[in-house]
């Protein structure tokens, strides 16, 4: 259990492939090694249990805590008395043929403490030989998550989310002091972008950033960069894993240092949302209620998840196939900019951005 103002963090670096059992054995070995070195919060990378043909994701998808992967990892967390972060695994979604890419956090009692579904999906084409279309098999999440693990507040993201600073600013403004980035960053982009992006997210939000990464060759055409990192709120790299499979990184963060740096550099207190329209307070007033400057309508194509019955912010655990967005209304919301959610619908993305601009200048509702 986390007892004081310091926290020992363990980052497990893997090279996961198609053999799920072998991947789980390596994951468990890494977690045990980190725990033996005093880690209280241990993070596995994205896709820790499987990297292989995208079509198999649906076969491996499981409801959190009810399948062989999450049940095994929950038992491990309970045995070792640690917080264990499963950096990304397939969870059933309501969309036919698609799963969520979900980061799940289990507590020292083996209970699910919270889960985050990856919002930004990796659909890129950087050169002729390198292209990914994550959205072909993965449904996007729509709810940022901050967990309260006293004395620290934990923000959750996954891999490609790292390129979207507005998500990290939102997490920081919601109180996150440590933001996790479990990842399978490609070698092609990672060699130039991994370090600058992680350090930038830490500096601009005055938070600790911890990134557990995949490394090496997963198959004929897929390579991950590795270099798991822990960055402090000043942008200094506190620890970095070497190139290699099955590396374990353990380091300590100090909440008192974060508080001191936030006093010295109080950038989060200087945010001017009324001029940017990206973080207004939630307002679930009547449908016809006028919006104040910076307030936004809930996005087309997604809405915040159902209220959680457990004490963490985010979508509540739910049975597979449940319709999280079936009863969405289009009332005022300030959870994130509309364009974060509208990316699945390009026309509405453009329309919503134009609407935002009109609201920004006129300070009211548009139709």
Residue with tokens 């002091």: 177
Check whether the bond before 89 is cis (ω within 30° of 0).
no
Sequence-ordered list of residues with C-beta below 8 angstroms from that of 126, at least 6 positions apart, any chain:
188, 189
Give tens-digit pLDDT for 133-175: 999 999 999 999 999 998 899 999 999 999 999 999 999 999 9
Can you give the pLDDT at residue 3?
59
Three-state SS string over 44-81 comes to CCCCCCCCCCCCHHHHHCCCCCCCHHHHHHHHHHHHHC
Identify how many contiguous H helices and E strands the chain contains and give both numbers. Answer: 9, 19
Q: What per-residue confidence (pLDDT) applies to 128?
A: 53
Q: Are 196 and 99 in contact (CB under 8 A)?
A: no
- 12, β-bridge pairs: 248
Question: What is residue 219's predicted lDDT score, i.e. its pLDDT?
Answer: 84
Find where tokens 């240092």 sit: 257
The fold of the 6-264 domain, in CATH, is Nitrilase/N-carbamoyl-D-aminoacid amidohydrolase (3.60.110)
Q: Where do you find CATH 3.60.110.10 in the chain? A: 6-264
pLDDT at 311: 37
Do 195 and 224 form a contact (C-beta atoms < 8 A)? Answer: no
Q: Which residues of the chain have pLDDT under 50?
A: 1, 279-350, 352-353, 356, 359-367
Q: Given this model, what pLDDT does residue 206 score?
A: 98
Catalytic residues: 46, 118, 159
């Amino acid at each position: 259990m986390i007892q004081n103002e310091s926290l020992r963090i363990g980052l497990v670096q893997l090279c996961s492939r198609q053999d799920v059992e072998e991947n789980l054995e390596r994951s468990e070995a890494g977690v045990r090694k980190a725990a033996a070195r005093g880690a209280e919060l241990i993070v596995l990378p994205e896709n820790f249990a499987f990297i292989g043909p995208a079509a198999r994701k649906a076969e491996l998808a499981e409801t959190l805590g009810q399948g062989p992967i999450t049940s095994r990892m929950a038992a491990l967390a309970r045995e070792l008395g640690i917080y264990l972060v499963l950096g990304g695994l397939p969870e059933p979604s309501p969309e036919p043929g698609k799963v969520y890419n979900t980061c799940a956090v289990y507590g020292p009692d083996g209970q699910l403490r919270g889960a985050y579904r990856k919002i930004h999906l990796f659909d890129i084409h950087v050169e002729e030989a390198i292209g990914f279309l994550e959205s072909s098999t993965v449904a996007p999440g729509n709810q940022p998550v901050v967990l309260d693990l006293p004395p620290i507040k934990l923000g959750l993201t996954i891999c490609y989310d790292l390129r979207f600073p507005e998500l990290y600013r939102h997490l920081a403004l919601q109180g996150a002091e440590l933001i996790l980035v479990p990842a399978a960053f490609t070698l092609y982009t990672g060699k130039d972008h991994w370090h600058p992006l992680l350090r930038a997210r830490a500096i601009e939000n005055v938070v600790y950033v911890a990134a557990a990464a995949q490394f090496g060759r997963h198959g004929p055409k897929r390579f991950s960069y590795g270099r798991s990192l822990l960055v402090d709120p000043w942008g200094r790299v506190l620890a970095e894993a070497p190139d290699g499979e099955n590396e374990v990184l353990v380091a300590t963060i100090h909440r008192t240092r974060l508080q001191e740096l936030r006093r010295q550099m109080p950038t989060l207190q200087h945010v001017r949302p009324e001029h940017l329209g990206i973080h207004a307070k939630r307002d679930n007033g009547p449908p016809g209620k006028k919006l104040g400057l910076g307030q936004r309508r809930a996005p087309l194509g997604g809405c915040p998840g159902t209220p959680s019955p457990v004490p963490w912010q985010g979508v509540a655990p739910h049975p597979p196939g449940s319709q999280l967005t079936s009863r969405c209304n289009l009332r005022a919301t300030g959870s994130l900019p509309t364009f974060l959610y509208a990316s699945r619908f390009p026309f509405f993305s453009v329309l919503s951005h134009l609407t935002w601009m009109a609201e920004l200048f006129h300070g009211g509702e548009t139709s």
